Amino acid sequence: MPFCEDCAKYWAPSAMNDDGTCPTCARVLGSQSTPNASRTVAPTSINAKGLRELAGKDAKAPWHFKLLVVALIAYLGWRLVSLIGLV
Ligand SMILES: [Zn+2]
């Protein structure tokens, strides 16, 4: 977790700025906290970009998810019909 020495505060990667700097004092974080800082900075940049931007503008649900939703609706519809039939 990145630590800002000027603010004496730990920052969650999602709370930092998009370029990995401190939101309060704009100091670059993560470079001196750990020896493998490049590894800890990389997920931060991915989080800052956002999943939708990473997936692209034409990101949509996969076909098997839609098939699952249709099957669920059909199953619940059938359960509703059988429930009405019992009454
Ligand atoms: Zn700071």
- Pick the range with the lowest mean pLDDT from 6-10, 24-28, 47-51, 80-84: 47-51
Instruction: Please list all protein residues whose beta carbon sits less than 5 angstroms from ligand 1, which is an ion.
Output: 4, 6-7, 22, 24-25, 27
Q: What is the mean pLDDT of residues 4-24?
A: 87
Looking at per-residue pLDDT, the higher value among 73 and 43 belongs to 73
Distance of CA 64 from the midpoint of ligand 1 (Å): 46
Distance of CA 9 from the midpoint of ligand 1 (Å): 7
**What pLDDT is attached to residue 48?**
60
Distance of CA 10 from the midpoint of ligand 1 (Å): 9
Percent of the chain with pLDDT over 70: 76
Q: Compute the Cα dihedral for 60, 62, 65, 70 and give only its sign.
A: positive
pLDDT of residue 30 exceeding 50, the answer is yes
**What pLDDT is attached to residue 77?**
96
